[in-house]
């Protein structure tokens, strides 16, 4: 059984289509035990996803895909912000994801939410990190022909921040002949995995539930970009970004020349991560953040608390 750990719902706002219930219906159709939604920059669909998954008997894996930089205080342009995928391993991890998402959206660059190493370290407990394709630091550094050793330094920095056991690299299951840039990235990811002793997962990074939804997703992209469907320069992503079953994932990886041993190992890692996930969300209650009051307010409270607090 294959577990998707990287994919997007309609809550990625015109970058993907498929409400959480449609994604879960597809997962159930494929007899999957668990599935993740890793929407961009927010967790807006998580509660609906969590509730519906529980009703359907499918384990909900709660992730988010955020912009990431090494140091948020350095001079950074929007196109220098790369993506990282974060997973909540447990309830503490879920709370930390909310902290990171809140911080990211308060400190974005020209609308690009981001976190940095310092924030990731502060809220790293219960979090698993995935570094993947062309929008990741790896992909962007490879596009600039950076040496693998320099990229390995970045991976090591993140490992030192969150813990070596909680970092994985992702092999992208897309046709490498159709997408030569994916072939370049996958080749280097496997090299970096060996160079840094980092485990790998595999996924095709879904953006719509079924094969037939591809055109609808392209229409959503056109709306987002202010394009017409007949515009020649509108986005028409190459590749297959629907929710694949295990046989389809294997077939793509085999077509790309990967060995059965490696494919088995990657799929097993996906499934092991899913088994580690134990997130229980307390529903039907109002939760407020715990803020530290300013010293003068604390002083006033201590002075008058006998009046303010009833027995």
139 Cβ contact partners less than 8 Å away, ≥ 6 residues apart: 82, 132, 133, 185
**Nearest Cα residue to 240 out of 266, 267, 219, 210:** 210
Q: What is the pTM of this model?
A: 0.87
Grouping H, G, I as helix, E, B as strand and the rest as coil, residue 65 is: strand
The verdict on residue 303 lying in a domain is no
- What is residue 309's predicted lDDT score, i.e. its pLDDT? 57
Other Cβ atoms within 10 Å of 153 Cβ, number: 11
The verdict on residue 121 lying in a domain is yes
289 Cβ contact partners less than 8 Å away, ≥ 6 residues apart: none
- What is residue 273's predicted lDDT score, i.e. its pLDDT? 95
The verdict on residue 308 lying in a domain is no
The verdict on residue 288 lying in a domain is no
Domain containing 95 — which CATH number?
3.20.20.140
Which range of residues forms the domain containing residue 200?
A: 10-283
For the chain, how are helix, strand and coil distributed in percent, rounded to 5? 45, 15, 40
- What is residue 109's predicted lDDT score, i.e. its pLDDT? 67
Q: What is the number of domains present in the chain?
A: 1
- What is residue 78's predicted lDDT score, i.e. its pLDDT? 59
The verdict on residue 24 lying in a domain is yes
Grouping H, G, I as helix, E, B as strand and the rest as coil, residue 36 is: strand
- What is residue 135's predicted lDDT score, i.e. its pLDDT? 75
- What is residue 146's predicted lDDT score, i.e. its pLDDT? 80
The verdict on residue 28 lying in a domain is yes
Other Cβ atoms within 10 Å of 204 Cβ, number: 23
- What is residue 293's predicted lDDT score, i.e. its pLDDT? 81
Q: What distance in Å separates the CA atoms of residue 121 and residue 225, rounded to the nearest whole number?
A: 35
- What is residue 1's predicted lDDT score, i.e. its pLDDT? 85
Q: What is the mean pLDDT of each run of 10 residues along the chain (311 residues)?
A: 95 95 96 95 93 95 90 70 90 94 82 87 93 77 80 89 90 95 91 93 96 95 93 92 97 97 97 94 74 82 71 48
List 131's β-bridge partners, or say none.
Answer: 169
The verdict on residue 170 lying in a domain is yes
């Amino acid at each position: 059984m294959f577990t998707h750990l990287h994919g997007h719902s309609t809550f990625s706002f015109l970058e993907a289509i498929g409400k959480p219930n449609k994604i879960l219906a597809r997962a159930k159709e494929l007899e999957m035990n668990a599935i993740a939604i890793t929407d961009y920059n927010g967790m807006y669909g998580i509660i609906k996803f969590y509730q519906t998954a529980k009703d359907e008997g499918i384990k909900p894996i709660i992730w988010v895909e955020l912009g990431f930089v090494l140091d948020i205080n350095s001079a950074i342009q929007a196109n220098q912000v790369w993506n990282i995928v974060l997973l909540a391993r447990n309830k503490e991890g879920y709370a930390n994801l909310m902290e990171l998402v809140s911080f990211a959206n308060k400190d974005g660059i020209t609308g690009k939410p981001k976190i940095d190493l310092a924030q990731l370290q502060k809220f790293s407990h219960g979090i698993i990190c995935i570094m993947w394709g062309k929008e990741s630091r790896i992909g962007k550094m490879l596009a600039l022909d950076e040496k693998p050793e320099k990229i390995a330094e970045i991976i090591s920095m993140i490992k030192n921040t969150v813990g070596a056991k909680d970092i994985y690299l992702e092999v992208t299951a897309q046709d490498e002949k159709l997408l030569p840039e994916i072939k370049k990235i996958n080749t280097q990811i496997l090299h970096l995995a060996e160079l840094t002793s980092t485990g790998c997962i595999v996924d095709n990074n879904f953006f719509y539930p079924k094969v037939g939804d591809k055109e609808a997703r392209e229409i959503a992209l056109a709306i987002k970009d202010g394009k017409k469907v007949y515009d020649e320069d509108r986005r028409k992503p190459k590749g297959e970004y629907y929710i694949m079953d295990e046989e389809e994932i294997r077939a793509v990886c085999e077509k790309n020349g990967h060995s059965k041993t490696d494919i088995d190992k990657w799929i097993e890692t996906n499934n092991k991560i899913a088994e580690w996930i134990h997130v229980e969300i307390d529903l039907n209650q109002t939760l407020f953040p715990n803020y530290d009051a300013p010293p003068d307010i604390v002083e006033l409270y201590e002075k008058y608390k006998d009046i303010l607090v009833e027995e």
